[in-house]
Amino acid sequence: MKSLFSTLALSLALGAPALAQPAKHVVLISIDGFRPDFYREAKWPTPNLQRMAAQGTSADGVRGVFPSVTYPSHTTLVTGVAPAQHGIYYNSPFEPDGATGRWYWEESLIKTPTLWDAVRQAGGKTASVSWPVTAGAPVDYNVPEVWSLTVKDRLTPVREQTTPKGLFEEIEQKATGPLTARDMSSDYVSGDENGSRIAAYLLETYKPTLLTLHVFGVDHAEHQDGRDGEHVRRALATADWVVGNLVEALAKAGIDKETAVIVTGDHGFVDINTTLAPNVWLAQNGLYNAEKGSWKAQFHTSGAAAFLMLKDPKDKKTVAQIRQLLAAVPAEQRKLFRVVERAELDQIGADPHAALALAPALGVSMSAARDGALVRPGKGGTHGFFPDNAQIQTGFVGYGPGFAAGKVLPQMALQDVAPITAQLLGLNFNPGKSTLPTQVVQ
């Protein structure tokens, strides 16, 4: 839950003199697995994104957080700070007795102020569709991304947790027609299509100051095919249609001239050929046994990364043993990863509870398994890598009022997106002290 200090900090920030306001509305679209080549290279089926990049401001790369996975990244997009500060460290929290399937769904788990808080305190309205960590969020028109551990139909918990009460029924009646679980699934392009229809309806009907939309199908396709493939192209074409549909909705609503559109993402993607299971090392050395509670250390995997958790956080002897174990592995295994020590984790703003982490080489992903082979074949694609290579970077396109035509940013960070959004709306919201907004927003 957000601390009183965070709330006071936001109140003080918003009490400062208002900034110039280039836009009355901002639409923030995240395409999960978004990459700069999707709008830089003509081979991709993205006419809307390529046009918007040419007519607006775009980045050659956006450096992400660690691990470079969906929920920490999306929370950074709306807070402007790293996971160590906002508290959403992974997609799923570390559960020492075994994963239950829970994810970080509830907005109350975010420890720092968000753009939704900032807009609300400034008197504006917000809307959100399928954005991670939004269950119970202070959003005026909220269709959260959430699912149940007991109900297989993901649509049911979304319907139940959409606010205000009756909004989901209104959407089905006026925007989408009756929806089934398949209609909102990442297994089909209709999931993104219907998300876009919902967002377009909210834009046209309620004209919120800020709308956030998560487009998830490209990520699903890249996990299956890797960086390229039939499913990736089909999902990407749908994502491009989603963007064009929202731009058209702004025109229908009569607010296109006063609305800035940001299209960004959470991470890039890397093709996988190998899987490493570091918990096998711990099990073989008596540090991680099968019985609940019978462990000294275990690796919490998150995409392509693994974070070392200790049963006793002060157990320096076990950490030293694991460091020696990792240093002594055969060269053909040692080349598959590097050790990220606590000082580097602090520098990048990763989970403060991890003793250290393993960052794999490109092409390698991590498995949570503690039994079986240490090294296994891998396929498809994934993310979670330490954000120090171009393949894992995401993209950024800013279009509309406040963005210069044809401007190219060589590099930016995921933490820059929230303060750029705030600058567009004239809000004093820059908790990470980014210097980019004044350079980007006209």
Q: Is residue 377 reached through a cis peptide bond, with omega within 30 degrees of 0 on the bond before it?
A: no
> Which band of pLDDT confidence, cut at 50, 70 and 90, is reported for residue 18?
low
| Predicted confidence (pLDDT) at residue 87 exceeds the cutoff of 90 | yes
Question: What pLDDT sits at residue 364?
Answer: 98
Tens-digit pLDDT profile for residues 413-430: 999 999 999 999 999 999
Structure tokens at 423: 């600058």
pLDDT of residue 8: 42
pLDDT band, very low/low/confident/very high, at 20 (cuts 50, 70, 90): confident
The pLDDT score that the predictor gives to residue 308 is 98
Q: Which of 386, 339, 313 is nearest to 94 (CA)?
A: 313
Which residues lie below 8 Å from residue 192, measured CB to CB, with a gap of 6+? 215, 216, 217, 235, 238, 239, 242
Kindly indicate the confidence band of residue 4, based on its pLDDT and cuts at 50, 70 and 90: very low
Query: Does the pLDDT of residue 17 top 50, yes or no?
Result: no
Cα torsion 22, 140, 76, 23 to 10°: value is: -10
Whether residue 12 has pLDDT greater than 80: no
Over residues 196-223, the pLDDT tens digits come to 999 999 999 999 999 999 999 999 999 9
User: What CATH number is given for 4-269+388-440 in this structure?
Assistant: 3.40.720.10
What was the pLDDT predicted at 186?
86
Give the contacts of 263 (CB within 8 A, at least 6 positions apart).
Answer: 29, 31, 34, 49, 52, 243, 395, 396, 397, 399
Write down the pLDDT at residue 149: 87
Q: pLDDT at residue 403 above 90?
A: yes
Predicted pLDDT at 10: 53
Q: Which residue did the predictor score with more confidence, 8 or 319?
A: 319
**Assigned fold of 274-378:** Gyrase A; domain 2 (3.30.1360)
What pLDDT sits at residue 161? 97
Q: In sequence order, what are the beta bridge partners of 413?
A: 63
- pLDDT the model gives residue 148: 84
Q: What is the pLDDT of residue 294?
A: 87
Report pLDDT for 5.
Answer: 40
150-168 per-position pLDDT tens digit:
877 889 999 999 999 999 9
Q: Which of 16-30, 37-51, 100-114, 264-278 is the least confident region? A: 16-30
Residues 193 and 242: beta-carbon distance below 8 Å: yes
Assigned token pair, 249: 């909705």
Q: Indicate the pLDDT class of residue 2, thresholds 50, 70 and 90.
A: low
Domain ranges of the chain: 4-269+388-440, 274-378
Q: What is the pLDDT of residues 329-380, one digit of tens each?
A: 999 999 999 999 999 999 999 999 999 999 999 999 999 999 999 999 999 9
Q: Is 243's pLDDT higher than 60? A: yes
pLDDT, residue 293, reads 73
- Distance separating alpha carbons of residues 358 and 336, to the nearest angstrom: 10
In the prediction, which pLDDT does 349 show?
98
